[in-house]
Amino acid sequence: MPPTYHGSCHCGAVRFEVTGEITDIATCDCSLCRKKNALMGKVPEAQLRLLTDWSELGLYEWNKRVAKHYFCKTCGIYTFHRKRAQPDWFSFNIHCLDDFDPANMTVRAASGKDMTVEAPDPRPEWPGPRVTPPQPESGRAMSYRLNPPATVGMSSALKP
């Protein structure tokens, strides 16, 4: 039976489980990961299960809005995110795991700074090659959903 690790934010309002061996941990050099300084593991979405209500989580999206970065609304700790490069996988904050010690693992440096920036109005601090986002057809407005329901597109393993 694969191991199950238990994770939580600092205040305990957000709790989750990760099932399976943790064989790869990484840092990322994209502008967001550099600022949050996270050490991350990753699993297919079926191996991450939220144990608390989604209402405890805040959501941050940027650029293409494919990656979904979740954090505790109370203490602000980044807990996990849906990956842009692999949308059916989640990365999670290794330091949120209460029963896992990463001390003897090798940390891989993932390159995120070279991913394309496709936001309509990117900040100059965001590294990466610029790609012009698709423009709306003449006379049609283009909109972005800033905070879709958290369970849309989530596997049953992630639903509370």
In a domain, 27, yes or no: yes
Question: Which range in 25-34, 54-63, 84-93 is most confidently predicted, on average pLDDT?
Answer: 54-63
In a domain, 123, yes or no: no
Three-state secondary structure call for residue 104: helix
Between CA 77 and CA 10 the distance in angstroms is 7
In a domain, 126, yes or no: no
Residue 151 clears pLDDT 50, i.e. is over it? no
Domain count, the chain: 1
Q: What is the pLDDT of residue 133?
A: 54
> If pLDDT is split at 50, 70 and 90, which confidence band does 55 have?
very high
Residue 40, domain extent: 4-110
In a domain, 15, yes or no: yes
In a domain, 48, yes or no: yes
> If pLDDT is split at 50, 70 and 90, which confidence band does 33 have?
confident
Q: What is the pLDDT of residue 141?
A: 41
Between CA 119 and CA 62 the distance in angstroms is 7
In a domain, 9, yes or no: yes
Q: Order of strands across the sheet with 48-50?
A: 4-8, 15-19, 48-50
Between CA 41 and CA 7 the distance in angstroms is 12
Between CA 111 and CA 95 the distance in angstroms is 20
In a domain, 154, yes or no: no
Between CA 112 and CA 64 the distance in angstroms is 14
The CB-side HSE value for 156 (13 A sphere, CA atoms) comes to 0
Residue 45, domain CATH: 2.170.150.70
In a domain, 159, yes or no: no
